[in-house]
Amino acid sequence: MTPLAADLLPIFRRDLRCFIREVELFPDDATLWRTVPGVTNSAGNVALHVAGNLRHFLGAVLGATGYVRQREREFAQREGTRASVAAELASAIAAVEAGLAALTPDMEADIFPAPVGTHRPRTGLLLTHLAVHLAFHLGQAGYLRRALTGDATSAGGMSLPELLGH
């Protein structure tokens, strides 16, 4: 495993596990799909988006998992269980592990093997971007849950001890 992959793997794992806890903190399945004025996507949608994004770029493209992304569904879905969304996030952990395990130093320094929209970033940069993208959406889901429920309970995001395996 490359040094960058070794550094990113615990971040991806920590934040995906935290996202699962965040989903589980919603009081019921219906609230996971609600939004507030000015917010387009529910926490369920951003969770599916993160899972699909990582399962595609790390799992399918780098790890050859065979996953086929349905990006439109990530944003169009309006119902489902907290358990099914948590399972999608758990599947993303396995996809991240597969993709990072397949990464070589040459691949990391080269252009990502698949286009990202109309862009062709360097693989190492894209992997860093994907970790930040995950954290961004995790924060959105947490704030949206708090706004919808008034419950300030933390899912434990950004835990340095969890990152370090303590």
Q: Where are the alpha helices (DSSP H) in the chain?
A: 3-25, 43-54, 71-76, 82-102, 105-109, 123-149, 160-163
pLDDT score for 120? 97
Prediction pTM value: 0.96
Given a cut of 90, whether residue 159 has pLDDT beyond it is: no
Residue 20 has pLDDT above 80, yes or no: yes
pLDDT in the model for residue 165? 82
Token pair of 65, please?
A: 């998992």
97, 9 Cβ separation under 8 angstroms: yes
Q: What is the pLDDT of residue 18?
A: 97
For residue 163, what pLDDT is reported?
84
- The rounded distance, in Å, linking the Cα atoms of 30 and 43 is 11
Average pLDDT in the 39-43 region?
A: 97
pLDDT in tens, 47-97: 999 999 999 999 999 999 999 999 999 999 999 999 999 999 999 999 999
Domain boundaries, the chain: 3-153
For residues 99 and 62, is the Cβ–Cβ distance under 8 A? yes
pLDDT one-digit tens code per residue, 106-155: 999 999 999 999 999 999 999 999 999 999 999 999 999 999 999 999 99
Question: What's the CATH number for 3-153?
Answer: 1.20.120.450
